[in-house]
Copies of this chain bind each other. A is one copy, B any other.
Amino acid sequence: MVQDLLAGIDIGGTKLAVAIASTDGKVLGRTSFPTDPDRSPHESMNHALETLSGLAEKQQGKLRSVGIGCAGPLDFERGPVLSPPNMPLSWRQFPLRPFVENALDLPVAIENDANAAALGEHLYGAGRGYSDLVYLTISTGIGVGIIAGDRLVHRAGEGGHVTVQPGGALCGCGARGCMETLCSGTGIARRAQDELRRGRNSKMLEIVSGSDVKQVTAKTVEEAARAGDEVAMKVWRETTDLLAIGIGSIVALLSPQVVILGGGVTAGAGEFLLQPLRDALQERVHIISMQEVSVVQAGLGSDSVIHGALVLAARELQLDRTSR
């Protein structure tokens, strides 16, 4: 008998990952490749789908459904059609779902990457056993996915744009003082660069071996802060304080049992970010006892999204079986 298989696709700003799994979620094959800006989305997706078919053939199985997590925001009403700010421009308005549906003649479910990661963490990662969780990815941008009452809050996804500094720095979205513009990897780097442009002496310049402040990244700030550099420590402390304002608002609103932090900045810094963040949350949030809210790192690391994509595929298969 031919084995039924689930297909998962993670479309990010820098890489495209695919995986196949058995219908009970066991990953049977996977691979990833960089998102090539010179390739059209048609070419990239054709390559991804061929790879998936190849992986399925190796298992002598048949793909039954597809789940996709991709850099958002998605268009709820029409689509979803893709218009991702952190992706090559050619992906803008690319009709992702119809393309995959037509190519494979299979049911396809799509969520933005933060939502997919929340699903992945809920079923297989740090969110196992919790009914209500908030997943936050801190990388180039900040994305938020929400599970409430064991269900994904489908329309959620722009929680990076909660206000943490009214009247503060202008965000790419056009608003001021968004958590994303201040606390994402890009935001942390920008605030550090601003400090350095004021002529402040700092280990950060040594680390990037030169005087070009533009080379300073969130990683540079973390390294210098760990080494006790004053300017970097100030920027880092501001980061956890500002994150605590945004996450604190989200926690007050939703009262999750756990806040799960993923993304490159979190993965790199680990407890050096999490511990001061927990302290700042304890200090700032009172309506809900922060002692009853765990603040932890993602359990699946950079695989949260691809696992969430497989959860989406499984869900789609379930729907397919019951409704058709």
Which residue numbers of A lie inside 8 Å of B, CB to CB? 73, 76, 131-132, 144, 146, 148-149, 151, 153-166, 171, 173-176, 178, 245-246, 248-250, 252-256, 284-288
Contact A155 B149, beta carbon cutoff 8 Å:
yes
Cα of A161 to Cα of B51 in the assembled complex, Å: 48
Q: Chain B: which residue is nearest A284 at the CB level?
A: B175
Q: Is the interface of A mostly helix, strand, loop or mixed?
A: loop
Cα of A149 to Cα of B150 in the assembled complex, Å: 13
Instruction: Please give, as numbers and ranges, the residues of chain B lying within 8 Å of A173 by CB-CB distance.
Output: 286-287
Instruction: Please give, as numbers and ranges, the residues of chain B lying within 8 Å of A175 by CB-CB distance.
Output: 248, 284-287
Cα of A254 to Cα of B149 in the assembled complex, Å: 15
What's the minimum C-beta distance from A223 to chain B, rounded to whole angstroms?
28
What's the minimum C-beta distance from A229 to chain B, rounded to whole angstroms?
25
Q: A76-B255, A149-B155, A166-B166 are in contact. List 17 more A-B contacts (CB 8 A).
A: A149-B151, A149-B154, A151-B151, A153-B153, A153-B254, A155-B254, A156-B254, A158-B252, A159-B252, A162-B252, A163-B249, A171-B286, A173-B286, A173-B287, A175-B285, A176-B284, A178-B287
Contact B248 A159, beta carbon cutoff 8 Å:
no
Number of identical monomers bound together in the oligomeric complex: 2
Instruction: Please give, as numbers and ranges, the residues of chain B lying within 8 Å of A149 by CB-CB distance.
Output: 151, 153-155
Cα of A256 to Cα of B164 in the assembled complex, Å: 20
Instruction: Please give, as numbers and ranges, the residues of chain B lying within 8 Å of A256 by CB-CB distance.
Output: 155
Q: Chain B: which residue is nearest A248 at the CB level?
A: B163
Instruction: Please give, as numbers and ranges, the residues of chain B lying within 8 Å of A174 by CB-CB distance.
Output: 286-287
